[in-house]
Amino acid sequence: MTSSLPNLPALALFVAVIDEGGLGAGARRQGMAQPNASRMIARLEAQAGQALLERSPRGARPTPAGLVLAAHARELLEAAAAFTDWIEHGTEEEATLLEIGASMTVAEHLVPAWLTALRSVAPAVRVTPHVLNSTGVVSQVREGTLRLGFIETPHLPAGLHALTVGEDELVVVVAPGHPWAGRTDLSRDELAATPLVVREGGSGTREAFEQLVPAAAETEPVQVLGSNAAVRVAVAGGAGPAVLSRLAVRSALSGGDLLEVGLAGEPLRRPLTAVWGGPRRLSGAAAELVALARRDAPANR
């Protein structure tokens, strides 16, 4: 290669050709006419001093040298995207303001400690948290309204980057006078067949439970409520059992307002996940917050 700076559009085209399996398809992905794409690839091969693509009637595939170049190109393009994102959003105001979203359990029981830790290492950063259910967090991160989100659903959203920061346990809880009080071997089948007090659709808690115990989705709930606190109150009042995060019922269990029912078999566990758009590699306060979350989230301590 010459000592000139890399031609980023050419590298982006080359990666697109490899991903799409052909010059024409790669050119279309980049919004480029195929003759112009052919000339650009030819110049790239001339710079490299060797063939980078093997062409055939079935399409194009990289040579060994092309595979190496593509790997470096992807790193360079990712860095360029991060730089562009910084140029567009990296003003002094952006550097000190961070809009995040968190699903309810994470927001209530984990985010306050994470933000306290963040202030100790980045005191100039001001974080505005928004409390939503997991579906709402994903929607606003995807729209760009929020820079970063934390969700509890096991379904990783398409089109966003995701990183597991910890793990949470779902537990079965009842009022002290419930017939299940004191049980240690409740089966998943019996749990699934029982009308429960549940969170609303879109809640990470509900989605995780119905993925872990699929038959539960077929049983009509006894009540559907919009917050963990409302579910706790309903259960304590005798409405029926519920499945909630251990984080959400920790105080109620220690105070005796609710009792945990022992579940036979493996515990019900779900991931806690950070999600974001834009470049794959987070930077600045968002990256620092995710690092703190990974350090301090449940199952990481």
Per-residue tens of pLDDT for the chain, all 301 residues = 445 788 999 999 999 999 999 999 989 999 999 999 999 999 999 988 999 999 888 888 899 998 999 999 998 888 888 777 666 655 444 457 899 999 999 999 999 999 999 999 888 899 999 999 999 999 999 999 999 999 998 888 888 999 999 999 999 999 999 999 999 999 999 999 999 999 998 898 999 999 999 999 999 999 999 999 999 999 999 999 999 999 999 999 999 999 999 999 999 999 999 999 988 888 889 999 999 999 987 765 5
**Residues 84 and 106 placed together within one structural domain of the fold:** no
The first and second tokens of residue 137, run together, are: 């967090």
How many folded domains does the chain comprise?
2
| Distance of alpha carbon 33 from alpha carbon 21, whole angstroms | 16
pLDDT, position 93: 46
**Are 109 and 150 contacting, i.e. CB atoms less than 8 angstroms apart?**
no
**Residues 162 and 181 placed together within one structural domain of the fold:** yes
pLDDT, position 96: 76
Domain boundary among 43, 62, 89: 89
pLDDT, position 124: 86
Q: Is 3 within the bounds of a domain?
A: no
Domain boundary among 74, 89, 104: 89
Provide the residue type at 223 as one letter: Q
Q: What is the pLDDT of residues 118-156, one digit of tens each?
A: 999 888 899 999 999 999 999 999 999 999 999 998 888
Alpha helices in the chain (DSSP H): 8-20, 23-29, 34-48, 64-89, 92-96, 104-109, 111-121, 134-143, 188-193, 204-212, 228-236, 246-255, 284-296
| Distance of alpha carbon 92 from alpha carbon 82, whole angstroms | 17
| Distance of alpha carbon 51 from alpha carbon 41, whole angstroms | 10
**Are 199 and 228 contacting, i.e. CB atoms less than 8 angstroms apart?**
yes
pTM given for the model: 0.66
pLDDT, position 53: 92
**Are 242 and 197 contacting, i.e. CB atoms less than 8 angstroms apart?**
yes
Q: Is 2 within the bounds of a domain?
A: no
**Are 270 and 154 contacting, i.e. CB atoms less than 8 angstroms apart?**
yes
Please, what is the Cα angle at 98 between 93 and 99, to 5 degrees?
125
Q: Which residue segment(s) compose the domain that 51 sits in?
A: 8-89
**Residues 178 and 230 placed together within one structural domain of the fold:** yes
Domain boundary among 89, 110, 135: 89
**Residues 277 and 128 placed together within one structural domain of the fold:** yes
Residues 6+ apart with CB under 8 A from 39: none
**Residues 212 and 189 placed together within one structural domain of the fold:** yes
**Residues 240 and 121 placed together within one structural domain of the fold:** yes
| Distance of alpha carbon 21 from alpha carbon 169, whole angstroms | 43
- CB neighbourhood size of 266 (10 A): 8
**Residues 226 and 124 placed together within one structural domain of the fold:** yes
